[in-house]
């Protein structure tokens, strides 16, 4: 299956695309944004995935983070998928809450009805979309990194911990460090996965690390003025889990920064260069 081009724009001598395709995993049309750097004209280039947070689409990171300039310099392909299935017939929260349903796929494979048919973002990101990228774009799939923000930071950490052979570099911005232990995660996991909390552990970075999952290293940035810091994000739980397990972690608490894309835009260059070094291009 090939991608349908929704839009394309020249950007820092590369091209910013938005693609659409029909997903077998979600049974819906899906959109993704892909920045292809100029180096891809002559060779395949390394890939950095960015997973976005609650309420977001493929557009937020693409238009707000300012990542394309440095990605063009480094020769990094940036891939930003949507955060959940969308379209006619896709179930949503009955009360229209922002933290569940559309825009809140939590990068899980739902098993509870009515979510199980469409909410399969884990398999979409882990299996289906990488195959399509490899088939349709000049991507060097032997050199992949992953990062994300908030719910997407949770997604980046858990997907990498479950697939350590795939990712050479992993980072996150203000991730939901332990969904088992916060209201956002408890709401999502109880509805998508069910009441058995032991089944939630596959979607919790701290639990995966406690269970033996390992990565070469992790970079996490967290703003100290983030309004969700104490109630939802709880980076200290990730810090404690990594310390107990001997998992290398660089956790940078950035004074005065909040949860917004101003925070991401400030530190995205650091993350891109950190990934580039581990992907062998810097």
Q: How far apart are the first and last CA of the chain?
A: 33
Task: Extract the tokens encoding 131.
Answer: 């195959």
Task: Extract the tokens encoding 262.
Answer: 């101003």
Cis peptide before 114 (omega within 30 of 0): yes
Would the CA dihedral through 86, 169, 126, 178 be positive or negative?
A: negative
Active site residue 150: yes
52-70 residues labelled b (16+ CB within 10 A) or e (exposed): bbbebbbebbbebbebbeb
82, 154, 202, 259: which one is catalytic? 259
From 89, 91, 84, 83, select the one nearest 113 (Cα to Cα): 91
52, 72, 84, 150: which one is catalytic? 150
Active site residue 99: no
Active site residue 271: no
82, 226, 271, 275: which one is catalytic? 226
List the Cα angle 137/142/147 in 5-degree steps: 80
Would the CA dihedral through 165, 171, 172, 177 be positive or negative?
A: positive
Residues with catalytic roles: 150, 226, 259
């Amino acid at each position: 299956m090939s991608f349908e081009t929704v839009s394309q724009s020249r950007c820092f001598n590369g091209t910013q695309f938005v693609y659409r395709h029909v997903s077998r995993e979600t049974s819906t049309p899906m959109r993704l944004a892909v920045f292809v750097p100029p180096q891809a004209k002559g060779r395949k280039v390394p890939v950095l995935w960015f997973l976005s947070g609650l309420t977001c689409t493929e557009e937020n990171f693409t238009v707000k983070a300012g990542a394309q300039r440095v990605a063009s310099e480094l020769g990094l392909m940036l891939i930003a998928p949507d955060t959940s299935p969308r379209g006619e017939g896709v179930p949503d929260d009955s009360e229209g809450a922002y933290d569940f349903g559309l825009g809140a796929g939590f990068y899980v494979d739902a098993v509870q009805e009515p979510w199980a048919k469409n909410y399969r973002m884990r398999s979409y990101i882990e299996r289906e979309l990488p195959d399509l990228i490899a088939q349709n774009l000049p991507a060097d799939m032997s050199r992949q990194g992953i990062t994300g923000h908030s719910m997407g930071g949770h997604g980046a950490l858990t997907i990498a911990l479950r697939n350590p052979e795939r990712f050479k570099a992993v980072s996150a911005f203000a991730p939901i460090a332990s969904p088992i232990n916060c209201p956002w995660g408890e709401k999502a996991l109880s509805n998508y996965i069910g009441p058995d909390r032991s089944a939630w552990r596959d979607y919790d970075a701290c639990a995966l690390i406690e269970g033996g999952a390992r990565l070469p290293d992790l970079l996490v940035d967290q703003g100290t003025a983030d309004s969700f810091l104490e109630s939802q994000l709880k980076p200290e739980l990730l810090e404690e889990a990594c310390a107990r397990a001997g998992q290398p972690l660089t956790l940078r608490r950035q004074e005065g920064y909040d949860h917004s894309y101003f925070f991401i835009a400030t530190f995205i260059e650091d993350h891109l260069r950190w990934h580039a070094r581990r992907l062998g291009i810097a």
